[in-house]
Amino acid sequence: PVLAEKTPGRRTLLDVGCGFGFAVDYWQRIHGGEAVGVELAHYGAVGARMLGITVHDRMLQDEPALAGRRFDVVYA
């Protein structure tokens, strides 16, 4: 589904339940915009380290870094 986003410009992505974080990594590399993931399972942290991306390991509503944030695209 992130391949369908064709709006020009640098847009932001929030991937809720991002798993390993491949969509977050893809978004940053191909679209050039900021991308953030949320994944409670351990492999989210592993993916964050291996891919060099941001993946939070708390429930969305409990993550202070995302409080009040707005994103152009939310993938869940």
Give first-to-last CA distance, the chain, whole Å.
10
Q: Give pLDDT, residue 39.
A: 98
Helix (H, G, I), strand (E, B) or coil at 47: helix
What local confidence, expressed as pLDDT, does residue 5 receive? 78
**pLDDT at position 67, please?**
96
What residues in the chain have per-residue pLDDT under 70? none
How many helices and strands in the chain, by DSSP H and E?
Answer: 2, 4
Q: Residue 4's pLDDT is what?
A: 76
φ, ψ of residue 19 to 5 degrees: the values are 65, -130
User: How much is the pLDDT for 60?
Assistant: 93
Q: What is the pLDDT of residue 66?
A: 97
